[in-house]
Amino acid sequence: MNTNQQKRIALITGASSGIGLALTRKLLSENWQVIALIRSDFPADDRFIQNHRKEGVLRAYKVKDLTDYGSLRHALDEIKSKEQRIDILFNNAGGGLSELRYSKQGREMHYELLTVVPYIILMELKEQLKNSSLKTVINTSSQALRFTKEFSVESLEHPKTFRKMFGPYAASKLALSLWTRAIAPQLAKEGIKIRSVDPGINNTLRKGKDSGLTAWFELFMKYFSSPPTHGANLLFEGALGKHSNESGVFLLKDRIADLKFTEHAQRVLEKISEIYSDEFLGAGERRSLQKF
């Protein structure tokens, strides 16, 4: 058997910077293959990364915008046509904004990127997960969800107010962890385990890029937070550590933590499932029919 075929395979979204890049480097150093779904290129001067790309054990698939369903569909179709299995799916891509913005589909951008898109990616790549041995999904969440005082499924799409970090960002991360909890029994029937993991506070600031953070927290992150390798280690442990047999749980500091507003979990799942069926799949079917 080919040596590459024996290696375990992870798909990482947002793999070219921050925690995603640190996780990519960690997995490659642990003799994994990595499939990267990325918007920005890997650093051209990173020899470790570029050598693994040349060897074919790091394979990159570009997407212009994860929240643009046409762009996302094209990238996922390419992955499905070229990759047979995925042992672990790390839904890691994210980020914060400093103001209300909306996706092409008309939904608040944090909700679209942090809550809806990870579900679409999971659904689209489920067959690749089922073809693997580990069959694991790790959704990158955030401890910011603990500061959510009120929660409404309906307000996720069109928030009435905006606060940096603790507004739509925190609510969207909570919604991600809630649907992770709700979908676990359904995925278990197919042998797939899923968890949401807080990677801790890491210095992922990038010059010239909106962090979506308050000024005081940005200063704290710059001078006192951990490097992205810390978050990568927590995601790695969340996937393969002591909780690897758990499903649906939220891990905070590598411990199972309670979630607020769990009574809304099933409704969150139903809502994003409707979006996936009606808008992502529906648009694809309409496009196919237009060809005939």
- Residue-wise pLDDT for 250-263, tens only, equals 999 999 999 999 99
Domains and CATH numbers, the chain: 3-290 (3.40.50.720)
The whole-number average pLDDT for the span 103-108 is 97
* Mean pLDDT on 174-203: 96
Given pLDDT bands bounded at 50, 70 and 90, which one contains residue 215?
Answer: confident
pLDDT in tens, 78-98: 999 999 999 999 999 998 888
Inter-residue contact 11 to 89 (CB < 8 Å): yes
pLDDT digits (tens, 9 = 90+) for 12-52: 999 999 999 999 999 999 999 999 999 999 999 999 999 99
Q: What is the pLDDT of residues 55-74, one digit of tens each?
A: 999 999 999 999 999 999 99
Which whole number is the average pLDDT over 221-237?
Answer: 87
Task: Please give the structure tokens belonging to residue 230.
Answer: 């810390």
pLDDT band at residue 2 using 50, 70 and 90 as cut-offs: very low
Q: Rounded distance, CA 77 to CA 79, Å? A: 5
Does the pLDDT at position 4 exceed 90? no
What does the block give as tokens for 258?
A: 């309670």
- Give me the percent of the chain exceeding a pLDDT of 70: 89
pTM, rounded to two decimals: 0.92
What pLDDT is recorded for position 216? Answer: 64
Asked which of 90-99, 113-122, 242-251, 277-286 is least confident by mean pLDDT, the reply is 277-286
Which parts of the chain fold into alpha helices (H)?
3-6, 18-29, 47-55, 69-82, 109-110, 117-124, 126-130, 168-188, 215-224, 228-240, 265-275, 282-290
In this structure, the number of other CB atoms found within 10 A of the CB of residue 229 comes to 16
